[in-house]
Amino acid sequence: MLIVNVKKGESIDRALRRYKRKHRQTKLRQELMRRRTFTKPSEVRRNELLDAEYREKITADLF
């Protein structure tokens, strides 16, 4: 559970912004989305290979 202490004189908007930043940094949302559906191990490996090819192509174009 994320806890954000509101400092004296701090607005709720600012505290909410700190909470959202903390939430993003924990990558909780990504984990929830990943667990929503099952992905076969072969599909995971295939996506990793496709991502690696894409990154390699991008870096090759830069040089």
Close Cβ partners of 9 (under 8 Å, ≥ 6 residues apart): none
pTM: 0.47
**Residue 60 pLDDT:** 85
For 30-61, the pLDDT digits (tens) are 888 889 999 999 999 999 999 999 999 988 88
Q: By the 8 A CB rule, do 20 and 41 touch?
A: no
Q: Where are the domains of the chain?
A: 12-62
**Residue 1 pLDDT:** 75
Cα atoms in the 13 Å half-sphere on the side-chain side of 21: 7
